[in-house]
Amino acid sequence: MRRVTILGSTGSIGRSTLEALDWLGGREAFAVEALTGASNVALLAEQARRCGARLAVTADPARLPELRAALSGSGVETAAGPQAVIEAAARPAEWVMAAIVGAAGLAPTLEAARRGAVVALANKECLVCAGPLFLAAVAEGAATLIPVDSEHSAIFQVLDARAAPERIILTASGGPFRDWTLERMAAVTPARAVQHPNWSMGAKISIDSATMFNKALEMIEARWLFRAEPDQIEVIVHPQSIIHSMVGYADGAVLAQLGPPDMRGAIAYALSWPGRAPTPMERLDFAALSRLDFHAPDPERFPALRLARAALERGGGAGCVLNAAKETALEAFMADRIGFLDMARVVEAALERLDGAPAPAALDDVFALDAETRAMAAELCAERAPVAARA
């Protein structure tokens, strides 16, 4: 029996992780130590009952009575609050899925790394906000880090231990506005931005895909995961999302990993690593696919990629600033307080104002820089003209 914990079980990756557990043997192969969620306690309670979890935690203390009521008589322990989420990560599960969205996932994921778990990392923000700090915790705890982001899982799968990569080529779908003009993009609503053409994901990452901030975060994620220099990291738009990413070597050869756009593939890989367990994933039919397309991303319409490159070159605390400003701008956009194109403008201004912020040396430094950036980004959002009536 392998003991597992899912941080963020009620989200898109969390739900797919429970499905992947079923694929690979369900309750006969896995014992669920803890599940954590936030506002959707009805789903959290249902999941905990179904998989026989020992502990269910909601990050929101106000929802504890509701969680307790939903789990009464089940024997599942309950707890609430951010500290309880960290404690859930500290419990002795060998394998931990880190699938909380945003910088909120950092402290619990660090906890799992410090005690030496196998950490399946979907929460890319851990590496974006605190790459060196997070990797030091992994090394200190002798933890095993397995990327779950499809691009990074692909790279991890085709890395050749005998040769250093020359280039890391991240593929990007280009999101729903890949071919839109700037004028049309300016009027995009949150409801439209959330609809991704290829992948089914949480609302925030879907909007990040539409701005390509998701790829920006993934560039920084790749920098730390694979210890790549900024100029080794490339992004290519590949609308079909079949090639999940590629690695180029010094002899000119490029290795790619392909599959249908379904996160359960990368999750099942993280569960079976270092082996490959059979799964019912859809098989690629190349004759039906017939073609794969590629084109360079447009820097005018997708400034996020340029901002990620600037953050990589600046180093220090720039990744933390980029992420916190992006999360603040994203929330303002989702609440209809700023426009779609304003998000990158806010991030760019925050990066300029906080240029030279040092790399956070401890978790408290991350929180301090994150809070300082959010306060500044909130002001920058307020300064932007109110969103005009949209088509």
Binding site for ligand NAD (CB under 6 A): 8-14, 37-38, 59, 85, 99-101, 104, 122-125, 149, 199, 201-202, 204-205, 263
In the complex with Mg ion, which residue's Cβ is closer, 78 or 150? 150
Burial 57-81 (b: 16+ CB within 10 A, else e): bbbbeebbebbbebbeeeebebbbe
Give CA angle at 160 (314, 278), nearest 5°.
Answer: 110
**Distance between CA 85 and CA 79 in Å, rounded?**
8
Whether 149 contacts 218, CB under 8 Å? yes
Evaluate whether 311 touches 290 at the Cβ level (below 8 Å).
Answer: no
Q: Using CB distances below 5 to 8 A depending on partner kind, what does residue 354 bind out of ligand NAD, Mg ion, none?
A: none
Query: Residue 232 or residue 241: which is nearer to ligand NAD going by CB?
Result: 241
One-letter amino acid at 55 equals L
> Alpha-carbon distance 53 to 122, whole Å?
21
Residue 170 beta carbon to ligand NAD: minimum distance, rounded to whole angstroms: 12
CB atoms within 10 A of CB 286: 10
Quick one: which of 149, 208, 221, 370 contacts Mg ion (CB under 5 A)? 149
Paired tokens of 173: 């779908």
Q: Name 376's Cβ contacts closer than 8 Å, sequence gap at least 6.
A: 325, 350, 353, 354
Minimum gap (Å) between residue 89 Cβ and ligand NAD: 11
107 binding partner (options ligand NAD, Mg ion, none; Cβ < 5 to 8 Å by kind):
none
- Residue 63 or residue 223: which is nearer to Mg ion going by CB? 223
319 or 387: CB nearest ligand NAD: 319
Taking CB positions, which residue lies at the least distance from ligand NAD? 11
Q: Of all helices (H) and strands (E), which one includes residue 270?
A: helix 263-272
Given ligand NAD, Mg ion, none, residue 303, with its beta carbon under 5 to 8 Å by kind, binds none
Pick 166 or 331: Cβ nearer ligand NAD: 331
Residue closer to ligand NAD, measured from CB, 129 or 349: 129
Is residue 176 classed as helix, strand or coil in its secondary structure?
coil
| Position of minimal CB gap to Mg ion | 149
Which window, 37-45, 107-115, 141-149, 264-272, contacts Mg ion (CB under 5 A)?
Answer: 141-149
Report the nearest approach of ligand NAD to the CB of residue 323 (Å).
10
Site membership for Mg ion, residue 327 (CB under 5 A)? no
Of the candidates 133, 124, 77, which has an alpha carbon nearest to the alpha carbon of residue 104? 124
Asked if 185 contacts 301 with a C-beta cutoff of 8 angstroms, the reply is yes
Q: Which is nearer to ligand NAD, 191 or 288 (CB)?
A: 191
Least spacing, CB of residue 102 vs ligand NAD, in Å: 6
- Piece in contact with Mg ion (CB under 5 A), picked from 103-111, 137-145, 146-154, 283-291: 146-154
Which positions lie near Mg ion, rule CB under 5 A? 149-151
